[in-house]
Amino acid sequence: MSSGPATTEGFGSGCFKGAVADKYLSKYGESATLLANGNWTKDMAKADIVAKAVLDWAVDNGASVYCHWFQPMGSSGVRHGNSGQVHQSMFDFAADGTPFYSFTGEQLLQGETDGSSYPNGGMRATHTAGGYLSIDPSSPIFLREDTVFIPAGFVSYNGDALDEKTPLHRATTALDKQTKRMLKAMGYDVGSASVYANIGLEQEIFLVPRHAYYRRPDLQFTGRTITGKFPARGQEMSDHYMAPISRATAAFECMRQIQQECFKMGIPLKTRHREVAPNQYEFAPMFGNAISQVDQNLMIMQIIEEVASEHGLAALLQEKPFDGINGSGKHNNWSIGTSDGLNLMNPKQVNAKTGNAEIFPLVMAAMVSAIDKHGDLMRLAIASPGNDFRLGAMEAPPAVMSTYLGPSITEFMNNVKNGTLGTYTPQKKPLNFGTDSIPSIEVPAEDRNRTSPFPYGGNRFEFRAAGSSQNVAMVNTVLNTIAAEAFGIVADRLEKGDKALSIAQDLLTKHDKCVFNGNGYDPEWPDEAVKRGVWRIDAGCDAINELDSAKNVDLFEKMGIFSARECEARKSVLLGHYIGSVEMEALTMIDMINQHVIPSVKRADLGNPGKLNDAVKTLKGAIASIHAAAESDEHKAAQIARKMRLETMVSIRDVIDEFEGRCPPEDWTLATYQELLFLD
Ligand code: ADP
Ligand code: MG
């Protein structure tokens, strides 16, 4: 596909809502307002109409296949995305065998799949393998190529969540309920509006030449390079950052096409630029409702992979594909808003719309308490295997769950803590360029903080530590849940007659130790944080182990997100995913040593490869001890795996990289960092 510009004209033509839905529903006497809420799913006659309209739309666009599109739990986007789908044709056959188009309301609403191969953490015995799918009417149906994608929740026969989407819905419901209670007790009724999180996800990726990717079994199997001598040039010039997306590179056409395909599906992928590491790029959409943003992000990741392959590139979504240069994240910008446009994290708007100046400080105090109490859950939500190399003394942001509020809001909150409600008006300052030829501009009086994992930025929090390959449903499930709990506690006290300001005072007194406006990369901060009693969990697997702690089970049960059983099962799936990922890396390393490195060392006569043979033995031993531990204790097995990965495999890598540094390129059969990062 050769790409022209992404235009507003085709925007959303592959997304069943608005004008598109209107056009096809009107034939049956309905309009897109039918889809405004999920009520139509409770009325089979209406569902039949929607199905007919979807079918007409599909046929007009050359599609004749549908699938319920779901998000198996614990999956990661390192290879082939994070979604599940079974495709069904939208036709039936007459008695004489003639096919005709057919798609019913019942088919649209629900599906069943033999989900036996998905990880379920013991929630489903193999002989009762059914997984059940039900449409998520809050997220638009997409059309891509010959297929209609119907977003759906996925549960077991007993209703246990087997996916990432169902808990996010539960947490959104809890957030809606508790926020409304709190606001009502503060004298502000949101009426028929609903409350939900808005998110905007900045997606970082690498795009590398596909031919080089095919010469890297580690990238193909695990998404990251397990060996590779660092090249003479890295990112020291910072000359990749924001550099021209030049026509001389395949990446230019690739990025244009990614944007175009997203636009067609109504995904507002507005921002594109080069990131700081060589061959690293970023896309960001215009923010929106967290549930459909998560769906759209999964689609974006799939489109990125597919389009890249058509341009001779391989897209790497893993968090740390290369050693020695920046890894990739997915900043999760998060705010709480109402469906009629009130952003609770925007002080000016909150004051103007509610007329109550105590609401904003109360929201912020509650958020501070949520972060302080449940930093362990925030840490666990970002514990993807790839993040091992970014968090916890590896690469910033640190594994300490603090928040940055900025000096003036901190001062405002400190006054609240001392019992006075001052005024907080975000200040602007003129910025002068030192020449009359360039006009001065106005900027926020406070600079931004890039070293905090969860800074407040004037109208939203930005969870900067999320990983690039993650389905961030769990991240937002956690944020919504901890906010809901905190707002619920505030509402309880307000309903008992306590004063808003004194509630805020109490919360800040107890919890503002997690506010840290300093440099999060300062090596002294993690220890200082521990002294203050702020959550710091360096190892992702230790954070995952907290999922079923008494505190967390209590929280999730109280808020209606997970039962104790679901917590235990999810923990087991996450640990299993971690252990499996590390084992794959170790096995890949063994193969690379035997099939590539040792033969190269011999061919180029680089000396005795004895150390490499020893390394293989060490790796095999380590894998065996992980297996042995996993029999009885998955957490322990994950800890052993982590040590092998971050210590043993790193020192083996040093040996391999030293050989690579002395090997003539024609004798080295693995693609080098130079080929992966600097060929375009
Ligand atoms: P940055 O300068 O932080 O890299 P970007 O423009 O790349 O900013 O991305 C910021 C993201 O935050 C975008 O997806 C944007 O739509 C989103 N965003 C902006 N305001 C809000 C908000 N109130 N709530 C949630 N997300 C927001
Ligand atoms: Mg950005």
- Total Cβ atoms within 10 A of residue 425: 11
What value does the mean pLDDT take over residues 453-458?
91
Amino acid at 166: T
Residue 110 — φ and ψ, nearest 5°? -145, 160
**Ligand with minimal distance to 450 CA:** 1
Q: Which two tokens stand for residue 203?
A: 């997606």
Q: For position 126, what pLDDT does the model report?
A: 47
CA 396–ligand 1 middle distance (angstroms): 20
CA 291 – CA 140 distance, rounded (Å):
10
Least confident segment among 204-213, 248-257, 328-337, 384-393: 384-393
Degrees to nearest 5, angle at CA 163 with 453 and 550? 60
CA 359 – CA 336 distance, rounded (Å):
13
The pLDDT tens digits for 562-589 are: 999 999 999 999 999 999 999 999 999 9
What value does the mean pLDDT take over residues 598-603?
98
CA 365–ligand 2 middle distance (angstroms): 27
Q: Which two tokens stand for residue 597?
A: 């490195």
At residue 83, does pLDDT exceed 90?
no
Question: Whose CA is closest to atom 17 on ligand 1?
Answer: 200
Question: Whose CA is closest to atom 12 on ligand 1?
Answer: 200
Q: Which two tokens stand for residue 45?
A: 């006659």
Q: For position 522, what pLDDT does the model report?
A: 85
Given ligand 1 and candidates 198, 199, 202, 272, which is best to mutate, with the most ligand atoms within 8 Å of its CB? Answer: 202
CA 592 – CA 657 distance, rounded (Å):
12
Average pLDDT, the chain: 92
CA 680 – CA 677 distance, rounded (Å):
8
Which of helix, strand or coil describes residue 103? Answer: coil
ipTM field? 0.95
Bridge partners (DSSP) listed for residue 70: 84
**Ligand with minimal distance to 204 CA:** 2
Q: Which of 187, 476, 202, 176 is nearest to 350 (CA)?
A: 187
Q: Which residue has the higher pLDDT, 436 or 595?
A: 595
CA 237 – CA 535 distance, rounded (Å):
35
Residues in Cβ contact with 570 at an 8 Å cutoff, skipping those fewer than 6 apart: 73, 74, 121, 547, 562
CA 118–ligand 1 middle distance (angstroms): 34
Q: For position 3, what pLDDT does the model report?
A: 64
Provide, rounded to the nearest whole percent, the portion of the chain with pLDDT above 90.
Answer: 80
* Helix (H) or strand (E) run with residue 595 in it: none
What value does the mean pLDDT take over residues 187-202?
97
Alpha helices in 391-462 (DSSP H): 407-417
CA 458–ligand 1 middle distance (angstroms): 11
CA 383 – CA 542 distance, rounded (Å):
9
Least confident segment among 128-142, 339-353, 419-433, 444-458: 444-458
What value does the mean pLDDT take over residues 650-658?
97
Q: Model confidence at 77, in pLDDT bands (50, 70, 90)?
A: low
Q: Model confidence at 275, in pLDDT bands (50, 70, 90)?
A: confident
CA 476 – CA 382 distance, rounded (Å):
10
What value does the mean pLDDT take over residues 586-611?
97
Residues in Cβ contact with 193 at an 8 Å cutoff, skipping those fewer than 6 apart: 338, 339, 340, 342
**Ligand with minimal distance to 285 CA:** 1
In this structure, the residues whose C-beta lies within 6 A of any atom of ligand 1 are 198-200, 202, 271, 284-287, 333-335, 343, 459-460
At residue 249, does pLDDT exceed 90?
no
pTM: predicted TM-score of the whole model, two decimal places: 0.95
CA 667 – CA 670 distance, rounded (Å):
9
β-pairing, 91-93 vs 110-114, is unpaired
CA 542 – CA 379 distance, rounded (Å):
10
Provide, rounded to the nearest whole percent, the portion of the chain with pLDDT above 70.
Answer: 94
At residue 675, does pLDDT exceed 90?
yes
At residue 399, does pLDDT exceed 70?
yes
- Residues 356-372 as b or e (16 or more Cβ within 10 Å = b): eebbbbbbbbbbbbbbb
CA 281–ligand 2 middle distance (angstroms): 10
The pLDDT tens digits for 105-158 are: 999 999 877 665 666 676 655 455 678 999 999 999 999 999 999 999 999 888
Strands (E) located in 413-540: 428-431, 441-444, 461-463
- Tell me if the bond preceding 397 is cis, omega within 30° of 0: yes
Residues having C-beta closer than 5 Å to ion ligand 2: 202
CA 271–ligand 2 middle distance (angstroms): 8
348 exposure class (CB count in 10 Å sphere: 0-12, 13-18, 19+): middle
The pLDDT tens digits for 295-318 are: 999 999 999 999 999 999 999 999
Given ligand 1 and candidates 287, 452, 459, 462, which is best to mutate, with the most ligand atoms within 8 Å of its CB? Answer: 287
- Residues 560-586 as b or e (16 or more Cβ within 10 Å = b): ebbbeebbbbbbbbbbbbbbebbbbbb
Compute the chain's Rg from CA coordinates: 26
